[in-house]
Amino acid sequence: QSVLTQPPSVSGAPGQRVTISCTGSSSNIGAGYDVNWYQQLPGTAPKLLIYGNSNRPSGVPDRFSGSKSGTSASLAITGLQADDEADYYCQSYDSSLSLVMFGGGTKLTVL
Amino acid sequence: EVQLVESGGGLVQPGRSLRLSCTASGFIFGDYALTWVRQAPGKGLEWVGLIKSRPFGGTRESAASVEGRFTISRDDSKGIAYLQMNSLKTEDTAVYYCSRTVVVGATYYFDYWGQGTLVTVSS
Model pLDDT for residues B20-70, shown as the tens digit of each residue:
999 999 999 999 999 999 999 999 999 999 999 998 899 999 999 999 999
- Interface contact B44-A99, CB threshold 8 A: no
The tens digit of pLDDT for each residue in A8-41 reads 999 999 999 999 999 999 999 999 999 999 999 9
Average pLDDT of the residues in A48-57: 97
CA angle B7-B40-B89, nearest 5°? 80
Could you tell me which of A23, A1, A109 has the C-alpha nearest to residue B43? A1
Q: Residue A5 forms beta bridges with which residues?
A: A23
* B107/A92 touch (CB, cutoff 8 Å), yes or no: yes
Per-residue pLDDT band at A98 (split at 50, 70, 90): confident
Mean pLDDT value across residues A53-64:
96
User: Is residue A33 within 8 Å of residue A44, measured between CB atoms?
Assistant: no
Cβ of B63 within 8 Å of Cβ of A99? The answer is yes
pLDDT (0 to 100) of residue A83: 95
Q: What's the confidence (pLDDT) of residue A1?
A: 63
Residue A1 near residue A98, CB atoms below 8 Å: no
- How do residues A78-92 score in pLDDT, each as one tens digit? 999 999 999 999 999
